[in-house]
Structure 1
Amino acid sequence: MNVLKEYQQKLQTPEDAVKIVKNGDWVDYSQTCSFPTALDAALAARHTELRDVKIRNAISMRPVQTVEQDPQGAAFTYNAWHCSGIDRKYIDEGRAYHIPMLFRDCGSYYQKGFAPVNVAMISVTPMDRQGNFNFGLTNCCQQAILEAADRIILEVNSQMPYICGMEADHIHISDVDAVVEGHAEIPTVSSPSATVIDKQIANLIFPYLHDGITLQLGIGGMPNALGTLIAASDLKDIGMHTELMSDGYLTLYKSGKITNRKKELQRRKGVFSICNGSRELYDFLDHNQDIISAPMSYVNNPYTISQFSDFVSINSCIAMDLYGQVCSESAGTRQISGTGGQLDFVTGAYRAEHGMAFLAMASTFTDKKGIKHSRILPKFTQGDIITTPRTQAPYMVTEYGAANLSGLTTWQRAEAIINIAHPDFREDLIKAAEQQKIWRRSNT
């Protein structure tokens, strides 16, 4: 059949397209910038007639109407693989739930039938002459979602950048059940401003970097501060292999620091799996042959990462204890984000011949009452989720220094960790280490 004719036959209004959703269905919105804005609103409008519809998404960048229009959750149960600020608010209010996962395995949950999909709804680029829709800013586990789905609805958005992929970067009109045309702006996020402490931490990590490294940066003020340092430095021929592309990388591309010439894999190509950031970043990526997307099962696979000789992974965390356990996703039992790819990159970087992984945080935080607390704890006791186990704790960095925990005994770890704690809390931490029998008497 002529693809344009087939497109017209499958073209529907959002209101008509979502009529295929039935009570009890699992509906998948994919992740981040693939969010189907028009379809979500149309489905939300059915909240008085539907019951027990379960929705999956990750990293919402705008309010989710199926949550907003159904505050009691009578029709919809919203579930997030990884939390943005919006998702966190919904979970705090008891209006959503978190789905624990490793990013490298997310696609396999669909492939193995652990995450059933009755209806998939995703935002894509307009159709090309061959009848294909590009996935744009989200590769991730998109293909796995669509292959698992009983029914597929595409929301076409002319503002979605076209991004070539290694694999799993498009779907054909013949494989979809319905098409709607949406006109919502692709959501953007502002880069967090770097604090004084972010800059101090970035300055501590910078000496470990050198020409030709392949770099994975997380999101936040500290990675942005490090990106600014690199952009102003003499470093050259940096490579990009990252789960999340953000404006920090745009800064490095614009300064000429990223060339991808020294990478062992996909030489001269930067690789990412999901992206969110500024409109400038999206415009930079559109039809950019220097950059390709790839599934998270490839990007975050420790075996893939291990093949880069000089791989450096830099991410943030929330807290750690004196044993080297790291929490990067919750504050007590309160869900903040998710495991995501942190453990993937910590594992892969360690396996790389000259690889290094850094987990960084400010040594303290101040609560709403103005009381300062240490982010380094004697032990986790409040239900904090352990993201990186002590057996894999890499370089830990605060504004007071960097501590490589690999191979250290419990007493060595305690000493190294206390040395990067805020001075105001070190004596109490030493007393706790003594009580926990991880403080050697000869320590000074």
Structure 2
Amino acid sequence: MSLADRVLYPDFLSRTMTADEAAALIPAGAHVGMSGFTGAGYPKAVPGALARRIESLNAQGHGFKIGLWTGASTAPELDGALAQVDGIEMRLPYQSDPTVRRQINAGQMQYVDIHLSHVAQFVWFGFLGKLDVAVVEVAGVLPDGRLIPSSSVGNNKTWLDQADKVILEVNAWHNPQLEGMHDIYYGTDRPPHRKPIPMTRPDERIGEPYLRCDPNKVIAVVMTNQPDRNSVYAAPDDTSNRIAGHIIEFLQHEVKKGRLPKDLLPLQSGVGNIANAVLAGLNNGPFENLTAYTEVLQDGMLDMLRSGKLASASATALSLSPTAMQDFNDRIDFYKERIVLRPQEISNHPELIRRMGLIAMNGMIEADIYGNVNSTHIMGSAIMNGIGGSGDFARNAYLSIFMTPSLAKNGSISCIVPMASHVDHTEHDVQILVTEQGLADLRGHSPSQRAEIIIDRCAHPDFRPALHDYVARAKRGAVGQHTPHLLNEALSWHQRYVETGSMRAPAGPASAA
């Protein structure tokens, strides 16, 4: 497909150039907003060209870096390429690239971990400074200059609105029939002028199919024909299937109790093998006419749409394996009737999550005996990826579920600990904890009751005695009995792991505290 087939706005044809020429227009020290969310819809050519330019300038002693803002994680061609040439001064709001992670944890790159629903409004409020340049991938340009979004929306609406200058990557790899799948809502505003968002159902459309952009801000148009970085399908294992089984059983129980309707409530699901196991369980389970209101659309949701178990799905991005991506393109007319892609400020908006009453299911790194959840840090100080949208959903969902295997690192780490080494979701936002050992329903229980439930139902049997011992001694020795802790021992399991490579005590439950 030619440039003229994808770019129908005549004035943009004179602004087409190579990726290297476009990258030369990005100044050192700029805040750059790039498209992309979970490896979908990110610019494919300009970041690499910018990395080459940075590498050359840095070799000459010029010290070129940028601030990089995105929707969420991207791909090695973007995050990895820029990090490898030491080109990122500040990164936000979420990342999953190993080079970026290594530089953040080495103190070589600054990182601001933000709730994904907050990013757009923080930019609008001016909290993050001026956005200098936006680099946004699109699937095409209409004759009037409006833009056809590609496989993710993320923060693109805000980048295009707020940036002084815009570079467009028009990617001919994307199926042109993506046009019409998106719903871009332009009704948000800053306080005190905000109005309620007029949506009550996940399948409801409240905006328009296209992104708007002032044509005068577009300084470059780069043509590409490159695929997204498809996700690797994380097949469920025995542990994740057991976790899924506990969740399906719990949801059936809630329906029987009258606390959930028979077709449940809109589903939000993270990614990974546990999430895939839950989706597979729902696809084979007793529930019908389900809906999803989530961040990313993954393989399991396509399976559910095809089977008819899932009636509709709303997200901000695709996160598909190569096989699922091929199926998506082959059946795009079918999926267009059932899928809506929105800006992340809408897909993650607390107002909508609360109103529609979501069932939020997210992974975690660890939880403590009182229900505080760490979803971002290893041993309290090393970032893994970021909080992403889990906080948006956990705080506002009808049901807030967090899932993890009970053990990590071949059994040397207990994922249920006396005190979480970092807290992203407090006990006040966590209702359900699930491991392969069982499910802890924490609703309506005091901290001391929660501790017994979590230990007995979620902790691995190898660590239960030490956890019970810790609680018993804390009840005797803590300053207060509402949330009893032994402050000199609360993080001792983590310290032991740092020193010895295992949380397991050398001998006896008492010494394991």
TM-score bracket for the superposition, by shorter chain length: 0.7 to 0.9
Paired AA for residue 34 in structure 1: G
Structure 1's 6 and 248: CA in aligned 2 closer, same or farther, altered over 3 A? same
Paired AA for residue 330 in structure 1: H
- Corresponding position of 2:349: 301
What's the CA shift for 1:252?
A: 0.8
Paired AA for residue 321 in structure 1: D
What's the CA shift for 1:153?
A: 0.2
- Corresponding position of 2:279: 227
Structure 1's 11 and 413: CA in aligned 2 closer, same or farther, altered over 3 A? same
- Corresponding position of 1:57: 70
Alignment of 1:75-154 (within 5 A): 75-77=87-89, 79-86=91-98, 87-92=100-105, 96-115=109-128, 116-154=130-168
Query: For the residues of structure 2 that align with 1:30 and 1:16, how far apart are their CA atoms?
Result: 19
Structure 1's 83 and 70: CA in aligned 2 closer, same or farther, altered over 3 A? closer
- Corresponding position of 1:183: 225
What's the CA shift for 1:107?
A: 0.7
Range moving further from structure 2, 49-58 or 423-432: 49-58
Query: For the residues of structure 1 that align with 2:19 and 2:429, how far apart are their CA atoms?
Result: 47
What's the CA shift for 1:111?
A: 0.7
- Corresponding position of 1:408: 445
Matched, 1:430 2:473: no
- Corresponding position of 1:336: 384
Q: Is the 8 A contact 2:36 2:74 kept in 1?
A: no
Q: Is the 8 A contact 1:67 1:95 kept in 2?
A: no
What's the CA shift for 1:357?
A: 2.1
Query: For the residues of structure 1 that align with 2:237 and 2:226, how far apart are their CA atoms?
Result: 33
- Corresponding position of 2:419: 379
Structure 1's 206 and 67: CA in aligned 2 closer, same or farther, altered over 3 A? closer
- Corresponding position of 1:34: 41
Structure 1's 183 and 94: CA in aligned 2 closer, same or farther, altered over 3 A? farther
Query: For the residues of structure 2 that align with 1:96 and 1:323, how far apart are their CA atoms?
Result: 33
Query: For the residues of structure 1 that align with 2:346 and 2:73, how far apart are their CA atoms?
Result: 23
Matched, 1:359 2:424: no
Deviation string for 1:342-382 (max 9, x for gaps)? 12112222xxxxx3221111111125xxx5321111113xx
CA root-mean-square deviation: 2.6
- Corresponding position of 2:365: 318
- Corresponding position of 1:417: 454
Structure 1's 182 and 94: CA in aligned 2 closer, same or farther, altered over 3 A? farther
Matched, 1:171 2:212: yes
Paired AA for residue 16 in structure 1: E
TM-score, normalised by the number of residues in structure 2? 0.75
Q: Is the 8 A contact 2:47 2:81 kept in 1?
A: no
Q: Secondary structure at the match of 1:306?
A: helix
Q: Secondary structure at the match of 2:141?
A: coil
Structure 1's 56 and 104: CA in aligned 2 closer, same or farther, altered over 3 A? closer
Query: For the residues of structure 2 that align with 1:66 and 1:339, how far apart are their CA atoms?
Result: 18
- Corresponding position of 2:268: 216
Q: Is the 8 A contact 1:153 1:176 kept in 2?
A: yes
Structure 1's 439 and 129: CA in aligned 2 closer, same or farther, altered over 3 A? closer
Q: Secondary structure at the match of 1:314?
A: strand
Q: Is the 8 A contact 2:364 2:375 kept in 1?
A: yes
Gaps (5+ residues) in structure 1? 261-269, 350-354
Q: Secondary structure at the match of 1:386?
A: coil
Query: For the residues of structure 1 that align with 2:32 and 2:97, how far apart are their CA atoms?
Result: 22
Matched, 1:240 2:292: yes
- Corresponding position of 2:235: 193
Deviation string for 1:138-181 (max 9, x for gaps)? 22222112222111000010123523214264234725222110
Identity %: 23
Deviation string for 1:107-151 (max 9, x for gaps)? 112111123311111111022344322222222222112222111
What's the CA shift for 1:202?
A: 0.3
Structure 1's 5 and 237: CA in aligned 2 closer, same or farther, altered over 3 A? same
Query: For the residues of structure 2 that align with 1:234 and 1:24, how far apart are their CA atoms?
Result: 55
Q: Secondary structure at the match of 2:289?
A: coil
What's the CA shift for 1:436?
A: 2.6
What's the CA shift for 1:72?
A: 6.0
Q: Secondary structure at the match of 1:117?
A: coil
Range moving further from structure 2, 198-207 or 391-400: 391-400
TM-score, normalised by the number of residues in structure 1? 0.86
Paired AA for residue 382 in structure 2: R
Match of 1:253 among 298, 302, 305: 305
Q: Is the 8 A contact 1:218 1:315 kept in 2?
A: yes
What's the CA shift for 1:93?
A: 5.9
Q: Is the 8 A contact 2:140 2:148 kept in 1?
A: yes
Q: Is the 8 A contact 1:126 1:156 kept in 2?
A: yes
Q: Is the 8 A contact 2:160 2:213 kept in 1?
A: no
How many residues are paired up?
418
Query: For the residues of structure 2 that align with 1:78 and 1:185, how far apart are their CA atoms?
Result: 27
Deviation string for 1:199-235 (max 9, x for gaps)? 0010000021542431111111111111112222332
Gaps (5+ residues) in structure 2? 1-6, 187-209, 253-261, 476-480, 485-513
- Corresponding position of 1:264: none
Q: Secondary structure at the match of 1:423?
A: coil
Q: Secondary structure at the match of 1:55?
A: strand
Paired AA for residue 26 in structure 2: V
Query: For the residues of structure 1 that align with 2:10 and 2:349, how far apart are their CA atoms?
Result: 41
Structure 1's 372 and 140: CA in aligned 2 closer, same or farther, altered over 3 A? same
